[in-house]
Structure formats: C-alpha cells, structure tokens
Amino acid sequence: MNTQPKPWKRTILPVPTITPANGHHLRANSTYRRFGKRLLDLLLTIPAFVVLLPVQMIIAILVWLAHGWPIYFCQDRPGLDGRPFSIIKYRTMTNDRDSDGELLPDEDRLTPVGKFLRQTSLDELPELINVLRGEMSLVGPRPLLMEYLDLYTPEQMRRHEAKPGVTGWAQVNGRNLISWEKKFEMDVWYVDHVSLWQDIKILLQTVWKVVTREGINQPGQATAEHFRGSQEVKPAIVLSGHTMALGVVRALGEQKVPVFVVHFDERDMAHVSKYVRQEIVSPNPAESEELFIEHLVEQAAHFGNGLLIPASDETLVAVSRHKDLLQRHYMVACTEWGITQDFIEKKYTFIQAAKDGVPHPKTLIPRNLSEVEEYIEQVQFPCLVKPSQSHRYYEHFKRKMVLAEDAEQVLSAYEQAQAVGLEVMLQEVIPGDDSLGVNYNAYFWDGEPLVEFTAQQLRNAPPDFGSPRAIVSKWIPEVIEPGRKILKGIGFYGYACTEFKQDPRDGIYKLMEVNGRHNLSSLLAVRCGINFPWLQYQHLVFGQLPSAADFRKDVYWIDITRDVGYSLQYLGKEKYRLGQYLRPYLRPHVYAILDLADPAPFVRRVVYLAGEAGRTVIAALRRRVRHLSSGRKDPTVDGT
C-alpha cells in the first residue's frame, strides 16, 4: 500500500515571532484584591503560625545541629512593584568554601537535613513571618533574586504587580520542572486572575504537591537553575508524524517551543496535535531520500536555524547521511552517518558489542547463501532471521523478523530478504516473556552519560518479538554498565534508547538493539520528571548541558490502541492474569496517544484504524462473493 499522502504540499507559513505581549495591563481593582486577600492571609497565617510553633522549634534545633548558627537564611528579594524586602527561610546549605574562598556548588553544600526540608517545603515556614508583616501573601508569584529584575522582559516584569507568595500558580503547575519562561507566563496569568476561589484552589493543590513532593528540583539540579534572561526560542522541526514524533511534539510543546511537523505517511497523527504550529507534507525518505533532503533545504529559510529532530529510523538515516549539508541551514539533533550506521545496521552493533564485551545473543552474519547453509549446521532451532536494517525490512514485509523453526524457513527468509537487497543475521532466541525486556534511556555527551532512565517492558505488540505496548518505569541497575559500554563503544552522543532482555538461563541482560533517536515511550520519562526532548533542546539551542537526575518509579506507559487490540487477539495465548492486564490502567500512567488535553491525534488514530478494519472486512466479503459466483466453496468457511 502506498502510504504517502497526496498531494505533496510545499506551502509554508512563516514561523511566528515570539515576543512579549504588547501594551500594559492595568492592575485589577477588585474588592478581594484590595481587602479580602490580606484578610485571608491573616485569618489563615495567625492560627497556622501558632499551631506550627512546636514544629518550627524542632526544625530550628535540627538546622542548628546540621548547619550551625544562624538557623535562618535572610536575603533581599523583590516584593510588590519590585521593592526589596528581606525574606526569611530555614538554612538548608552550609557555607563551605573552596581553597580560593568561593562558595562550593549548591549540590556540595546541600545537607541531608536541608534536602529533607526542601523536599517537604518545611524550609519555607518562616515566610509566614513575611506574610504577617505584609511583605508577602500566602499566594502569589514566588519572590526571586534581585538580580533578575534587569533580565525580565516588560511582560515578565508584570509578575511584580502582585505581592510575592509562599506558593503560587507556577508552583502547583510544575514548579522547578518547567522553564523560567513558562513560570513567568503563569505568574502574569495569576496577576490578571486573582480571586478568592483561585487562591483557595492553589492552597489546596499546594498541600497535595507537598505531600507527593512533585517538582522539588529541576532534573539534574540540586536547586533551581539560575535565570539568565529569556533566550531566543528556536522552532523545533520534528521529522515524521507517528507515535515517537507525537511524544517529542508534546514534550516540547508543553515547554512553549514552537513545533512544526514534517510528515509523509497517511497513518501519521502527530501533525494534528494542538502543539503543532503547522504541518508540512514531504516526500517519503524511504522512497526518495534525495527529494526529502531537497525539500528540507528548500524550507530552511522559513525555520530560522531551527532544531531538526528525526523521530523515525527512515528520517534519521536520511538526515544523518546529509548532516553536513543540513547543518548549513539547521541545528541537527542526530549523529553523523559513520556513527549512525553502527546502530542502524544491527550487524555493526553486535560486532561492536562483541568487541566491548557487552553480553548479546549469539549472532551469525552470513555474506552469501553458502555461508547461510554452513551456519544452519551451527544454529539451534528455533532461531531468528533478523534484518540488519529493521526499518527497511519492515517496509517490505510488515514484520520485524522471522522466527524460523527449521532450515527451510531460514533459507526462505534469507532469499526473500536478498530479493529486495537486504542483509539478514541469524540469531539465537532469548527465551522468556516480554516482561524480561528492559529499556535503558540515556542522554550521552563526550562519552559520558549525563541523564539516565530505565524501564521494564511488560507487553509487546505482537507478543515476544514486537515493540512495547505497555512499560513501567523502574530502576534497573544491571543494564547501566552494558548500556554505557555500547554507547561509548560506537561513539554515540545525544539521546538513545538501548534495549536489553534478561536471559532466564543465566540471569544476564543481553543487548537487543540501540535506537539512536527518541523512542515510542518517550512520554513515560516525561511523566516521571525527565523530559529528554526538552533537555536535548535546551542543550543544543541554549547550550545548557543536562546532568544526572532522579525519576519517579512505578509509572506506566500504555499504547492503548495496540494494547487493547493485541490483548483481544491473543486472549488465552498470553499467560497474563486479569490483574496484570489492568494494573497499568489502574496505577499512575500516561498514554502514548490518548490525551484528553490534546485529543485530536487519538481521534485521528481511531478513525484510521476503523477505516483499515472496514477495508479488511470489505476485501473479505469481495473474496467470498467471487468464490460463490464461481461456484467454488470459500476455503475460509469450509468446515471440513
């Protein structure tokens, strides 16, 4: 089936310029703002201060024991209209200095007591004194550093049109996990929407955020990263439009990055996301790589040196091969072809794994038919006939590999691949179900892992040898060392998802493949607090190098359309209990496509699948009619 949409559209709209809002917004003059807000502060703060006095005394003793005197941290911060006041907090860090007398980095000075106080937000309790003095309110934009005043845009400066708060709208909507620009946008929104109901809502949400400890620190930072001024936001051009691309689109769109999608397949759905500024239909790189690259070069002037992000194997191959050319027009988020080839062509991956001592399945790479026949004598059946380039093999045969039960099936699979010019490998089968599969996700730079995330695969589509349809975040230390080894061995840099499978015969995790682009389940890491597309964007566009970060465990990722479909198809064959099927849906989770806040991609996906099902039914009915009209029995309904 030809899946390239028609016609090929070349029209491009200019990238909208991101500028501060024009004009000045008059400060709301509501009764609540003038009188009620201060009254609410006093009614809640006075009894809270009295009730929490014993707690504050205990904290003061702990701080004194851990950090010495003084127990309070006082610093000038900008208040209403930018006027300075002295904020009061419990100390969470020591004053340790290096040999030159300079304070050590925050992560070196943050003590276990200080970390606990920050995680529970108990270090903020003395700010109740600021509220009683009238310098702060319980709810409002957080008071930041005085030095930031010179860095704000006029629109961002409007956050000081309200008193600073102990908590605020930005704090209950991401806190330190969102960008400075998004925080300021939320602060200004609050300034324009101050109300009793809004303040009560924020206070209740704050209690929940404190209990769950969400958004305490930025990934890779002991404390929030310093604001250095609003930097020029470049567009992100996501190449391809399926599930992997959708994850990137949402991860960047939520950070207010202008996103454009270049796609070429009628099955795509990322381009209808609410976060996409515009879709661009292009030639399919698998069918005409030259036209695809030519198209990207033609459109480059419209994207202002934007970040080019391949989100599929075919776009990755095309962009990587032509990276030198494309770098004249874009920032390019992928490796050069010499590196890309080592993980796209699996035979090179396993050669490198053997060289680096990374455990992997026994693999034979035949160069001709006679070697296949020779290797057949060495392999143990069943075995896998795997393509060296899986994305090209799937385009031809709509499967990832062949499970061969005997020599005849091996020879048949080899000859089919040879007929379309593809190389294959013979590989042993690692036994065990899908739950033995593991993802090692990492952002690599200069041969070192900067951020790492691991997850356990639960169910694949199709079972055993398909791609994941349900995954759970989990720390799996056994794959860290081999994951680092193989990425370092091939000289990889950027983001990669490396897959392993635990061999139940010896308990060792063995390398299955390296995917040097954003993977199917990228939204799982985002949901767990590590936004890899955003980290990549910040690094390549703003020059902010990410560093190690913790992530939330036991969060599930589900591709609901495939999970429901394959669960029904293999009902009775998959040996899962009902509770195992339902657990991902009942626990904290994120869907691959379904999102009530961004429903269009899921709707488009369902409509496409319904159309495919309809076409299948119609084709079956036509076959039956032809059989009946020819006077022959339809073999599909012959009960003998």
- pLDDT score recorded for residue 214: 59
Lowest mean pLDDT among 114-118, 161-165, 235-239: 114-118
- pLDDT score recorded for residue 368: 86
At 427, the amino acid letter reads Q
- pLDDT score recorded for residue 29: 52
Place of tokens 């900067």: 450
Q: What is the pLDDT of residues 8-63, one digit of tens each?
A: 333 333 333 333 333 334 444 578 888 899 999 999 999 999 999 999 999 999 99
Q: 248 φ, ψ to 5°? A: -65, -45
Pairing relationship of beta strands 236-239 and 259-263 according to DSSP bridges: parallel
Confidence of residue 221 (pLDDT cuts 50, 70, 90): very low
Coil/strand/helix, residue 526: helix
Q: Would you call the peptide bond into 7 cis, given omega within 30 degrees of 0 as the criterion?
A: yes
User: Is residue 495 within 8 Å of residue 502, measured between CB atoms?
Assistant: no
User: Is residue 435 within 8 Å of residue 500, measured between CB atoms?
Assistant: no
Is the pLDDT reported for residue 528 higher than 60?
A: yes
Lowest mean pLDDT among 45-54, 151-160, 626-635: 626-635
Q: 555 φ, ψ to 5°? A: -110, 140
Domains and CATH numbers, the chain: 31-212 (no CATH), 236-334 (3.40.50.720), 362-428 (3.30.1490.20), 434-598 (3.30.470.20), 600-640 (no CATH)
Rounded Cα gap, residues 163 and 637, in angstroms: 76
Is the pLDDT reported for residue 4 higher than 50?
A: no
pTM as predicted: 0.68
Confidence of residue 381 (pLDDT cuts 50, 70, 90): confident
Q: Across residues 588-592, what is the average pLDDT? A: 96
Rounded Cα gap, residues 313 and 301, in angstroms: 25
Q: Across residues 124-144, what is the average pLDDT? A: 94
- pLDDT score recorded for residue 606: 94
Q: Across residues 326-341, what is the average pLDDT? A: 96
- Nearest one of 350, 316, 164, 179 to 240, comparing CA atoms: 316
Place of tokens 């076409």: 615
Percent composition of the chain: helix, strand, coil (DSSP 3-state, to 5): 45, 20, 40
Is the pLDDT reported for residue 3 higher than 80?
A: no
Place of tokens 């061995």: 489
Q: What is the largest CA-CA distance in the chain?
A: 98
Confidence of residue 263 (pLDDT cuts 50, 70, 90): very high
Instruction: List own/partner pairs for 40-46 with CB under 8 A and 24 or more apart.
Output: 40/138, 40/196, 40/199, 41/131, 41/137, 41/138, 42/132, 44/138, 44/203, 45/128, 45/131, 45/132, 45/138, 46/132
At 127, the amino acid letter reads E
Coil/strand/helix, residue 158: helix
- pLDDT score recorded for residue 11: 35
Which of the pair, 630 or 348, is modelled with greater confidence? 348
CA-CA-CA-CA torsion sign (90, 93, 99, 101): negative
Q: What is the pLDDT of residues 290-308, one digit of tens each?
A: 999 999 999 998 887 899 9
The single-letter DSSP state of residue 97 is B
Torsion, Cα of 416, 418, 424, 426 (10° steps)? 60
Confidence of residue 387 (pLDDT cuts 50, 70, 90): confident
- pLDDT score recorded for residue 320: 97
Per-residue tokens: 440? 């090692």
Q: What is the rounded average pLDDT for all residues in the chain?
A: 87
Is the pLDDT reported for residue 222 higher than 50?
A: no
- pLDDT score recorded for residue 233: 81
- pLDDT score recorded for residue 26: 40
- pLDDT score recorded for residue 9: 37
- pLDDT score recorded for residue 122: 87
Which of the pair, 534 or 403, is modelled with greater confidence? 534
Which of the pair, 571 or 438, is modelled with greater confidence? 438
Q: What is the pLDDT of residues 389-400, one digit of tens each?
A: 777 787 788 787
Rounded Cα gap, residues 395 and 542, in angstroms: 37
Q: 72 φ, ψ to 5°? A: -100, 150
Percent of the chain with pLDDT over 90: 56
Per-residue tokens: 282? 């292009």
Is 630 exposed, middle or buried (CB count within 10 Å of its CB: 0-12, 13-18, 19+)?
A: exposed
| CB atoms closer than 10 angstroms to residue 52 | 14
User: Is residue 236 within 8 Å of residue 565, measured between CB atoms?
Assistant: no
Rounded Cα gap, residues 531 and 533, in angstroms: 6
Rounded Cα gap, residues 381 and 509, in angstroms: 21
Q: Which residues pair with 451 in a beta bridge?
A: 443
Is the pLDDT reported for residue 636 higher than 60?
A: no
